[in-house]
Amino acid sequence: MVRPSREMDMHEAKAHLSRLVETIETGAEAEVVIARNGRPVARLTSLQSPQRPRRLGLARGRFVAPESIDAANPMIADLFEQG
């Protein structure tokens, strides 16, 4: 479960940076707000990896599908026809 963002001061963030990065990386926290003199100045969040668009038809022409997948096995064809 992701906890809501928490705020911490600059000194604490510097002292525990590795641990903060790990909590963001594992998803334990969505973000950490870093403050200086009690004023929020930065946000530590995970980087979203860009999703490549899905390529349709990538294997076109590499495989041949039979006309009937049931023709190779009469028992399976009978099971489908019995419904």
Full-model pTM: 0.54
Q: What radius of gyration do the chain's Cα atoms show?
A: 27
Give the pLDDT of the chain (83 residues) as one tens digit per residue. 555 578 999 999 999 999 999 999 888 898 999 999 999 999 999 887 667 777 778 788 888 877 777 667 788 778 878 76
Q: Counting Cβ atoms within 10 Å, is residue 33 exposed (0-12), middle (13-18) or buried (19+)?
A: middle
Contact indicator for 20, 13 with CB cutoff of 8 Å:
yes
Distance of CA 80 to the CA centre of its chain: 38
* Domain 6-45 CATH assignment equals 3.30.1360.30: no
Q: How far apart are CA 70 and CA 47, in angstroms?
A: 48
* Torsion angle defined by CA atoms of residues 14, 17, 19 and 22, in that order, rounded to the nearest 10 degrees: 160
Domain boundaries, the chain: 6-45
At 4 the pLDDT is 59
- Phi/psi at 42 (5° precision): -150, 160
At 2 the pLDDT is 53
